[in-house]
Amino acid sequence: MSRFQVVSGKGGTGKTTVAAALALALATEGKRTLLVEVEGRQGIAQLFEAEALPYGERKVAVAPGGGEVYALAIDAELALLDYLQMFYRLGSAGRALKKLGAIDFATTIAPGVRDVLLTGKACEAVRRKDKKGRYAYDYVVMDAPPTGRITRFLNVNDEVAGLAKIGPIHNQAQAVMRVLKSPETAVHLVTLLEEMPVQETVDGIGELRDANLPVGRILVNMVRPAVLEGPVPTDVRRTDLAKALSGVGLGGARKGGLAEQLVDPLLAQAAEYEERVALERGQRALLGEVGLPVQELELLTEGIDLAGLYRLATDLRKQGVA
């Protein structure tokens, strides 16, 4: 199992949730995982019902069997100041740079520097070892930018390595790239069984492969359970349906009766359901053609709370994802 698991997905597919569930699942049975956020949204804190994460690794959850999940919201500015401190021991000069807008420049505008800092910090956590030579974290899970930007985000180190041809940023970029392109890393894509997310997933996988980045799995999120077993039979009379509904106390089966009035809307809902199921079948087939392991996670109808997160984590473990 790769030690660095990057989770991407189209906006709205629940990638933060899946990343958190994955971190929890990987921590099960005494492991320690670090869940990393890079987009400054504090989504992890919200999920774990914790206060906003500071720039520092903090324990956010205990996994079944005594494992631990730590979380870190990487801030590009602070990460840059970290690096400056590390390489140059610049205390006040760092502050002066900040005052001048150089840090702003480097983290928001300068090509890719921001991304190098973010991936660099995550890779540092992947490689970090304690005094006994054991890895500080068994796994690092990153809640990464969306599918449309993931290849550029991860590959940016290549670009920066080309732009900054020498110097610590260059070396950093190269070291990071070695981790990212190794089997130590796996990039997972979260999708829904809908046309746009599936299309974007298929395209995203193509881009990742072209950039020689290791693609892991497709995680289909919010899969709705089947409610009707098999197709709606076409040979059932409406009157019989009305009578069946009436028979269980839903009003009269006569025309205009309450049960009879239910028949049309209920059948319309069934038709919508069938249309959706057919569409989902088509999308599943498209995902199947990509040739990656595909796992499905059920829709948690009550929304995502901590209990839901643990359920997803258990589900991921059952499916052998973690």
Partner 1 sequence: MTLDPVPALDVDPLIDDPGTRIIVCCGAGGVGKTTTAAALGLRAAERGRKVVVLTIDPARRLAQSMGIDSLDNTPRKVTGVDGTGELHAMMLDMKRTFDEIVEAHADSERADAILNNPFYQSLSAGFAGTQEYMAMEKLGQLRARDEWDLIVVDTPPSRSALDFLDAPKNLGSFLDGKFIRVLMAPAKVGGRAGMKFLNVGMSVMTGTLGKLLGGQFLRDVQTFVAAMDTMFGGFRTRADATYRLLQAPGTAFLVVAAPERDALREAAYFVERLAAEEMPLAGLVLNRVHGSGAARLSAERALAAAENLDEPGIVDQEAGKEALRSSPEPPTSTASSEPSVSPEPPVSAPATQHDETMNDQTSSDQASSDRASSDQTQPSDARQLAAGLLRLHAERMHLLAREQRTRDRFTALHPEVPVTEVAALPGDVHDLAGLRDIGDRLASGIRPAGAA
Contact set for partner 1, span 248-307 (CB under 8 A): 248-250, 252-255, 257, 259-270, 272-273, 275-276, 279, 301-303
**Residue 158: closest CA among 141, 176, 145:** 176
Please give the Cα distance from 300 to 223 (Å, whole number).
9
Burial of 241 (0-12, 13-18, 19+ CB in 10 A): middle
Residue 35 touching partner 1 (CB under 8 A): no
Q: Which is nearer to partner 1, 104 or 138 (CB)?
A: 104
Binding positions for partner 1, 194-213, rule CB under 8 A? 194-197, 199-200
Do the bridges between strand 32-37 and strand 67-73 make them parallel or antiparallel, or are there none, so unpaired? parallel
Rounded least distance, CB 243 to partner 1, Å:
4
Would you give the end-to-end CA distance of the chain in angstroms?
Answer: 8
Q: Which is nearer to partner 1, 138 or 159 (CB)?
A: 159
Q: Which is nearer to partner 1, 110 or 136 (CB)?
A: 110
Contact 18, 219 (CB under 8 A): yes
The residues with which 5 forms a beta bridge, in sequence order, are: 141, 186
Residue 92 touching partner 1 (CB under 8 A): no
Please give the Cα distance from 160 to 163 (Å, whole number).
5
Q: Which residue has the tokens 């473990």?
A: 317
Q: Which is nearer to partner 1, 142 or 321 (CB)?
A: 142
Residue 95 touching partner 1 (CB under 8 A): no
Rounded least distance, CB 309 to partner 1, Å:
14
Radius of gyration of the chain (CA): 25
Residue 128 DSSP one-character state:
-
Residue 53 touching partner 1 (CB under 8 A): no
Give the per-residue contact string, 159-188, with partner 1 (x = CB under 8 A; - = no).
x--xxxxxxxxx------------------
Binding positions for partner 1, 127-146, rule CB under 8 A? 145-146
